[in-house]
Amino acid sequence: MVLLPSGPYQPIVTLTRRRTGGYNNPHRGGGVGWWWNGHSPPHDLTTTPPMRLFPLATEAFGRLYRNRALTFAMAKREITDKYARQVLGSVWAIGHPLIHVCVYIFLFQMVLGVRLGGTAGLPEFDYVVYLLSGLIPWLAVQESLNKGSTVVTSNANLVKQVVFPVEVLPVKSVLACFVTQTVGTVCLAAYVLIRQPELPVTYTGLPQTYALLPLWWVFQALGMAGIVFAISALGVYVRDIKELVQVFSVVGMYLVPIVYTPDMVPPKFLPLIKVNPFSHMVWCYQDVCYFGDFRHWYAWIVFPVGSILMFLLGYSLFRRLQTHFGSVL
């Protein structure tokens, strides 16, 4: 117990040290916290103090880099465990997105024969390419959100371990979802190459913009990790987060220009599309995979900058809330 003066005209304040249980505060060691006059602790004594942007980024990337082997191992295990004791095993990790892409190609190309464009602003091209350009990254986002909302609560036994780096849980969940996106992107590229002789395009092979896909994957991973950091931390205290995320993952697909073009949206609702950060992600992928040039130049700024800020904000929130994960779980 420590006695501290709280001010020139205030009585003595009593600080007592109690065992809080569960996961420790990483800055004060093993599960011990300070309690203010026997009541709930004040902000500056129990929560992590706010950090400036650069030190926060240095800490976040430093911890993830030091635990990179553990992160990749857990991501691989998440993929293999999902299909454990099945005849085809991990082959289903490739089979599921492959089947989905083939169904979309058959439905919209063979059955419906949908086409887009024919104007200067929107070239006449295969609707399947337009659809899959935005749908494939969205499916990865959807999967990561659904898994990430419970990634901390479903690993309570690991979270309560004093030495376990909890920050790897949201990141490994995001990395595991990129299997779906990788397989889908390969299928899309193969479809473009097969259909190219019938398409009104001037290039041969794939557009040169496809070389930018790894860069967009990095920014997408950062943004997704930031969101999962936030919702996984909030999900420990508010279990309804899981239900809200599931609703958004279904409805959100129709709030971004994936199955329709912005020209189809009534003018009074168009600002809602433009302020949606996921719309800028979709536009970047459509520029790379469908247009083959920089049609939405502003999205090429908003998406990378927004992804970095989302990562830092999500990690900052996760860092503040993780102190009492063990006690709540």
pLDDT tens readout for residues 237-256? 988 888 999 899 889 888 99
Co-location of 42 and 59 in the same domain: no
Residue of higher predicted confidence among 163 and 150: 150
Considering the domain boundaries, does residue 171 fall inside one? yes
**How many CB atoms neighbour CB 50 within 10 A?**
10
Q: In this predicted structure, which of 45-49, 89-93, 289-293 has the lowest mean pLDDT?
A: 45-49
Co-location of 318 and 298 in the same domain: yes
* 235-244 LR contacts (CB < 8 Å, sep 24+): 235/149, 235/150, 235/152, 235/153, 236/152, 236/153, 236/321, 236/325, 236/328, 236/329, 237/321, 237/328, 239/153, 241/149, 242/149, 242/150
Secondary structure (3-state) at 66: helix
Considering the domain boundaries, does residue 314 fall inside one? yes
Q: In this predicted structure, which of 98-102, 108-112, 259-263 has the lowest mean pLDDT?
A: 108-112
Considering the domain boundaries, does residue 329 fall inside one? no
- Summarised one tens digit per residue, pLDDT across range 283-327 is 999 999 888 888 888 999 999 999 999 999 999 999 999 888 877
Q: In this predicted structure, which of 16-25, 190-199, 204-213, 228-237 has the lowest mean pLDDT?
A: 16-25
Co-location of 27 and 97 in the same domain: no
Co-location of 111 and 40 in the same domain: no
Report how many domains make up the chain: 2
Co-location of 72 and 35 in the same domain: no
Pick the last residue of a domain from 46, 61, 79.
Answer: 46
In order, the DSSP letters of 263-281 are GGS-GGGHHHHHT-HHHHH
Co-location of 303 and 178 in the same domain: yes
In contact, 258 and 141? CB cutoff 8 Å: no
Co-location of 62 and 116 in the same domain: yes
pLDDT at 1: 46
- Per-residue pLDDT, averaged over 182-192, amounts to 89
Co-location of 162 and 242 in the same domain: yes
What are the C-alpha distances in Å from 32 to residues 82, 112, 126, 254, 326? Answer: 37, 64, 61, 47, 12
For residue 312, the enclosing domain spans 53-323
User: Largest Cα–Cα distance of the chain, in whole Å?
Assistant: 85
The DSSP element (H or E) to which 219 belongs, if any, is helix 213-237
Considering the domain boundaries, does residue 138 fall inside one? yes
Confidence of residue 104 (pLDDT cuts 50, 70, 90): confident
What are the C-alpha distances in Å from 249 to residues 12, 137, 139? Answer: 52, 13, 9
Co-location of 37 and 108 in the same domain: no
pTM, to two decimals: 0.78
Co-location of 160 and 298 in the same domain: yes
- Per-residue pLDDT, averaged over 128-155, amounts to 90
In contact, 278 and 255? CB cutoff 8 Å: yes
